[in-house]
Amino acid sequence: MTTVDRTMPEPVVAPSSAQQEPFLVVEDLTVQFPTHDGLVQAVTDLSYAVELGETLGIVGESGSGKSVSSMAVLGLHDAKRSRLEGSIRVAGQEIIGASKSTLRRLRGNDVAMIFQDPLTALHPFFTVGNQIVEAYRLHNQVSKKAAWNRAIEMLDLVGIPEPQRRVNDYLHQFSGGMRQRAMIAMALVNNPKLLIADEPTTALDVTVQAQILDLVQTMQKEFGSAVIIITHDLGVIAELADDVLVMYAGRAVEHGPTKEVLTHPEMPYTWGLLGSVADVVSDTSKPLIPIPGTPPSLLNPPSGCPFHPRCTYQDHVEGSRCVSELPLLRPGPRGESHLKRCHIKDPETLYQEELKEEIMG
Amino acid sequence: MIGYILRRLVSAVLVVIATSMIVFLLFTLGPSDPAQRLCSADRCTEERRALIHQSLGLDKPVVEQYLTWAKGVFVGRDVSYGPGFSVDCPAPCLGISYINKEPVFPTLMERFPATISIALGGFMYLIVGVIIGVLAARRRGTSTDRGLVASTLIISAIPYYLVALLAYLYLVLKWGIFSETSYVPLTEDPIGWAGALALPWLVLTVYFCVTYARFSRGSMIESLSEDYVRTARAMGVSESKVVAKHALRAAVVPVITIFGIDFATLLAGTVFTEAIFGINGIGRTALASITQGDLPIISATVLIGSVFIVIANLLVDIIYSFLDPRVRLS
Ligand SMILES: Nc1ncnc2c1ncn2[C@@H]1O[C@H](COP(=O)(O)OP(=O)(O)O)[C@@H](O)[C@H]1O
Ligand SMILES: [Mg+2]
């Protein structure tokens, strides 16, 4: 147990003079879990920022540290079972090492999260309404009656038919799409300024998926909040995100404006991701080429570039630098805003002249 | 929901009927001849014994005997053991004692309040066990937690009657911390009632709560790692409420189910408790009947015990359906 914080509660939102930086700033975030088998290096030196009204897409195969890094934003990692380094600031408020009461006031209020699988992420023994009411009353001093009205209003807003009746239903009485809508209703009940959606559509079929993504977008426009959308689907990124962050083995490997990254990718892992999904830019059909191999163990990350064991472009780098030297996340030839972590000298030419045809079909 | 309870009720009744048949069968096929028992030793001739045998209907087919017995449970009957020897056994008639020739059921009912009073200890060990389990789950990996797990292993390796005997020996006889136990009816003297039962309750609770502490600990650790608990934290619910409301609600369900299944253990514990602490309940009566070969009392006790186990399971099913809406609404 950490000691009880007896000082005055810190303001959750810093005075506006300090408000120069983006709403969410993550700087050199490292998250590690000591386990029986060794130290799991789930996230290493991750940095990004999200402004209000903007959407950041985080993409990567499963196990690349997407969930772990975003849970750190809410301070959800148990201090006894994890090691966190770096800095996470929400509206200027430092999250790492923040007191319990600070975190509590922030969670669900300034920052809310939509979890991947609503069937397990909502409580099976309480009604959907009950859970939304609880979330609302945690941050608003209102009567139960008012909170129930708010819950009904939220269910209506996210497109659940007959919200008056459904508010008294339990989770198992909802369909998959409706569960996710209910989860969104709960996340949005306090008008959060930052919404983190962790694979919100993975368990859903394509039509429902599109509806849910539409909903997230509409909500964002309405409230002007910052959104982080986590996915392993580049199609979702192409549709929703202003910026995209590609993660591999706990690190950022490519980061920049979505259109720029998707049309001029500079890192072989991103090429692989693009090749393995249906065409995200122009909707034509093409053969899907899966990335060979599997993501590395985070107990024992590979030397050098974490992607090197699966990378088929190492002959474009002199010597064995891919194996021996970790490439830095640095701007490529296309400008300061487009960062990549790769030793290949001229990835742009390589991609445009040799690979684009094959990858984009 | 109503349908669910009705289905459970029907199966509970079927279980009781099946148990009564098995008990009856064991009773009739048993090694000792009831007629022998009822035939007073000094004046017993072979002829007289045969007569008693016949009056009891023991020469009839087993099915017929069972039906006579079953009818007696609902409407009562006269149990005749030879010409001129007949006992009126009103419903629910579970037979007459071979020793004092009185109907079994009223005798057992007299002993009933004492047994129920002891069994109340069962709810205490359940509650105490869950509380300890929750605290251990929150401190898992610490020395408090390890101490608890170790002590549960040690305690569950010792037989209950030994613990009860030692407690009686030391706490009552040697150190006199507790006075001699006995049963004081609740209606006469509530404080005396609680005082007299304090030691049996304490021993039952201490002995059985560790098992439930271990169950609850495991169940709680599991539910604390559920996604919906993480969601509650992510919404800003305080840690104490996360534990006491979100996690506990899910964690008690399997614990209560086990309590229902394990109800027989509580009854067995009650029997030992009555015997060791000298409390005149059903269990002690049954134990005494075994040495005296008073079969009707034994079989009636088994039957009543089974009815209790069935009722306990029914209650657990109903509680379960209230706790888990997925059961209630499907
Ligand atoms: N509490 C934990 N203890 C140990 N390892 C963990 C823990 N949480 C996550 N990990 C590991 O961290 C890595 C990244 O996980 P995660 O962020 O969930 O990946 P994803 O990108 O699929 O969301 C995985 O290898 C996972 O096994
Ligand atoms: Mg994930």
Is residue B256 within 8 Å of residue B315, measured between CB atoms? no
Q: For A105, which of B236, B323, B325 is closest by C-beta distance?
A: B236
Checking if the pLDDT of A7 tops 60, the result is: no
Q: Provide the domain limits for residue A279.
A: 268-360
pLDDT, mean of residues B273-301: 88
Q: Which ligand is nearest to the CA of A299?
A: 1
Q: A281 pLDDT exceeds 70?
A: no
Pairs of CB atoms within 8 A across A/B: 72
| Same domain? B273 vs B158 | yes
Q: Are strands A194-198 and A38-50 parallel, antiparallel or unpaired?
A: unpaired
Residue in the block written with tokens 């195969």: A61
In a domain, A275, yes or no: yes
Q: Kindly give the number of the ligand 1 atom that is closest to the alpha carbon of A62.
A: 22
Query: Token pair of B110, please?
Result: 């007299």
Q: What is the pLDDT of residue A20?
A: 76
Question: Confidence band (pLDDT; 50, 70, 90) for A361?
Answer: low
pLDDT for B268 equals: 84
DSSP classification of residue A171:
G
All residues of chain B having their beta carbon less than 8 Å from the beta carbon of residue A134 are: 235, 237
Domain boundary among A166, A191, A216: A191
Which of A36, A40, A297, A298 has the most ligand 1 atoms within 8 A of CB, as the residue to mutate? A40
Pocket test for ligand 1, best of A32, A46, A68 (most atoms within 8 A of CB): A68
Residues 174-193 of A with CB under 8 A from B: 186
Q: Among A4-18, A78-92, B60-74, B262-276, where is mean pLDDT lowest? A: A4-18
Binned at pLDDT 50, 70 and 90, residue B222 comes out as very high
Is B17 in the same domain as B64? yes
How far is the C-alpha of B58 from the C-alpha of B39, rounded, in Å? Answer: 14
Write down the mean pLDDT value for chain B: 87
Residue A124 near chain B (CB below 8 Å): yes
Q: Which has the closest alpha carbon to B38: B89, B99, B88?
A: B99
Residue B197 and residue B78 share a domain: no
For ligand 1, atom 12, name the residue with the nearest CA. A42
B212, pLDDT greater than 70:
yes
Quickly state the pLDDT bin for A277 (edges 50, 70, 90). confident
Nearest chain B residue to A115 by CA distance is: B231
Mark yes or no for CB contact A125/B237 under 8 Å: no
Chain A positions in Cβ-Cβ contact with residue B231 (cut-off 8 Å): 113, 115, 121-123
What's the total number of domains in chain B?
2
Q: Is A58 exposed, middle or buried (0-12, 13-18, 19+ CB in 10 A)?
A: buried
Average pLDDT over residues B46-62: 83
Which candidate from A76, A123, A170 shows the least CB-CB separation from B228?
A: A123
Do B274 and B209 fall into the same domain?
Answer: yes
DSSP secondary structure letter of residue A29: E
DSSP B41-69: GGG--HHHHHHHHHHTTTTS-HHHHHHHH
Number of the ligand 1 atom closest to the C-alpha atom of A43: 14
B168 shares its domain with B291: yes
Q: From A155, A176, A191, give the residue that closes a domain.
A: A191
CA dist A330 and B264 (Å) reads 70
Do residue B153 and residue B257 come from a single domain?
yes
Residue A104 covered by a domain: no
Residue B226: its chain A contacts at CB < 8 A? 120
B204 domain-assigned: yes
Q: Indicate whether A258 belongs to any domain.
A: no
Backbone angles phi, psi at A43, to 5 degrees: -140, 135
User: Which of B228, B237, B246, B320 is the best substitution to test chain A (most A C-beta atoms within 10 A)?
Assistant: B228
Q: What ligand 1 atom has the least distance to the C-alpha of A250?
A: 14
* Average pLDDT score over residue span A208-231: 89
- With respect to residue B67, please indicate whether it lies within any of the assigned structural domains: yes
Residue of B nearest to A108 (CA): B235
- pLDDT of the residue at A4: 46
The CA R_g of chain A, rounded to the nearest whole Å, is 21
Same domain, B131 and B76: no
Cβ of B233 and A107 within 8 Å?
yes
Verify whether the Cβ–Cβ distance A113 to B234 is below 8 Å. yes
In B, what residues contact A, Cβ < 8 A?
226-228, 230-239, 246, 249-250, 323-326, 329
- What pLDDT sits at residue A280? 64
Q: Which of A134, A169, A228 to mutate to test the interface with B (most CBs of B within 10 A)?
A: A134
Q: Which of A168, A191, A214 is at the close of a domain? A: A191
**Average pLDDT of A243-271?**
96
**Ligand that lies nearest to the alpha carbon of residue A40, given by its number in the listed order:** 1
Query: A186 contacts in B (CB within 8 Å)?
Result: 235
Crossing angle of helices B282-292 and B263-277, rounded to 10°: 70
The answer to whether residue B44 is domain-embedded is: yes
Atom of ligand 1 lying closest to residue A298 CA: 25
pLDDT, tens digit (0-9, with 9 covering 90-100), for A288-330: 888 889 999 999 999 999 999 999 999 999 889 999 999 999 9
Does A121 or A212 have the greater pLDDT score?
A121
Q: Identify whether A329 is part of a domain.
A: yes
Structure tokens at A349: 């030419």
Reported confidence tier of residue B295, pLDDT bands at 50, 70, 90: confident
Name residues whose C-beta falls within 8 Å of residue A299's C-beta, 6 or more positions apart in sequence: A35, A37, A38, A39, A40, A41
Per residue in A64-120, pLDDT (tens digit) is 999 999 999 999 999 989 999 999 999 999 999 999 999 999 999 999 999 988 889
Interchain contact, A138 vs B249, CB within 8 Å: no
User: Best interface-test mutation with B: which of A125, A128, A172, A191 has the largest number of B CBs within 10 A?
Assistant: A125
| C-alpha separations of B297 from A76, A144, A260, B230, B292 in Å | 61, 57, 88, 55, 10
Q: Which residues surround ligand 2, an ion (CB under 5 A)?
A: A 67
Considering B103, B124, B152, which residue would you say is the last residue of a domain? B103
Specify whether B158 is located in the same domain as B134. yes
Which residues sit with their C-beta closer than 6 Å to ligand 1? A 33, 35, 40, 42, 60, 62-68, 298
* B314 lies in some domain: yes
Query: Taking CB atoms and an 8 Å limit, are B235 and A138 in contact across chains?
Result: yes
Calculate how close chain A gets to B157, using CA atoms only, in Å: 30
Please check the confidence at residue A140 and state whether its pLDDT lies above 60: yes
Residue B42: the pLDDT is 67
Phi, psi (5° rounding) for residue B187?
-70, -25
Q: Which amino acid, B271?
A: V
What is residue B248's predicted lDDT score, i.e. its pLDDT? 95
Residues belonging to chain A:
361
**Largest interatomic CA distance in chain B:** 85
A33 alpha carbon to ligand 1 midpoint, in Å?
9
In a domain, B330, yes or no: no
Q: Indicate yes or no: pTM above 0.90.
A: no
**How close A306 comes to chain B (CA, Å)?**
30
Q: Percent of chain A beyond pLDDT 90?
A: 71
Confidence of residue B23 (pLDDT cuts 50, 70, 90): confident
What average pLDDT does the structure give for chain A?
Answer: 90
Answer with the one of B59, B78, B103 that is the final residue of a domain: B103
In one letter, which amino acid is A72? A
Q: pLDDT class for B330, splitting at 50, 70, 90?
A: low
B328 domain-assigned: no
- Token look-up 């630098």 returns A321
Tokens of A219: 């909500």
Could you give the C-alpha distances from B90 to B54, B106, B286, in angstroms and in order?
Answer: 21, 9, 21
Nearest CA to ligand 1 atom 2: A33
What tens digit of pLDDT does each residue of A8-47 get? 444 455 445 455 799 999 999 999 999 999 999 999 999 9
For residue A311, being part of any structural domain is answered with: yes
Q: Which ligand is nearest to the CA of A115?
A: 2
In a domain, A170, yes or no: yes
A170 and B246 within 8 Å at the Cβ level: the answer is: no
CA distance B230 to A67: 12
Q: Is residue B22 part of a domain?
A: yes
Q: Are strands A243-248 and A251-257 parallel, antiparallel or unpaired?
A: antiparallel
pLDDT surpasses 50 at A274: yes
Order of strands, sheet of A111-114, starting from the edge strand that comes earlier in the sequence: A111-114, A194-198, A226-231, A55-59, A243-248, A251-257, A335-341, A329-332
Regarding whether B148 and B18 lie in a shared domain, the answer is no
Q: How far is CA B17 from CA A129, B11, B67, in A?
A: 44, 10, 12
* ipTM entry: 0.88
User: Does residue A233 lie within any of the structural domains?
Assistant: no
Residue A152 confidence (pLDDT) = 97
Residue A160 has what pLDDT?
93
B245 and B144, same domain (yes or no)? yes
Does A283 score more than 90 pLDDT? no
Of B299 and A280, the one with more pLDDT: B299
B62 and B157 share one domain: no
Task: Tell which residue, A52, A45, A46, has the closest CA to residue A22.
Answer: A52
Of the residues A36, A44, A67, A230, which should be mutated to test ligand 1's pocket, given the most ligand atoms within 8 Å of the CB?
A67
How many domains does chain A contain in total? 2
Q: Which of B227, B235, B250 sits opposite A108 (nearest CB)?
A: B235
A115 near B CB under 8 A: yes
Is B117 contained in some domain? yes
Is the preceding omega at residue B92 within 30 degrees of 0, hence cis? yes
**How many percent of chain B have pLDDT more than 70?**
98
**What's the gap in Å between A107 CA and the centre of ligand 2?**
19
User: What range defines the domain where residue B213 resides?
Assistant: 113-323
Buried b (16+ CB within 10 A) or exposed e, A262-289: bebbbbbbbbbbbbebebbeeeeeeeee
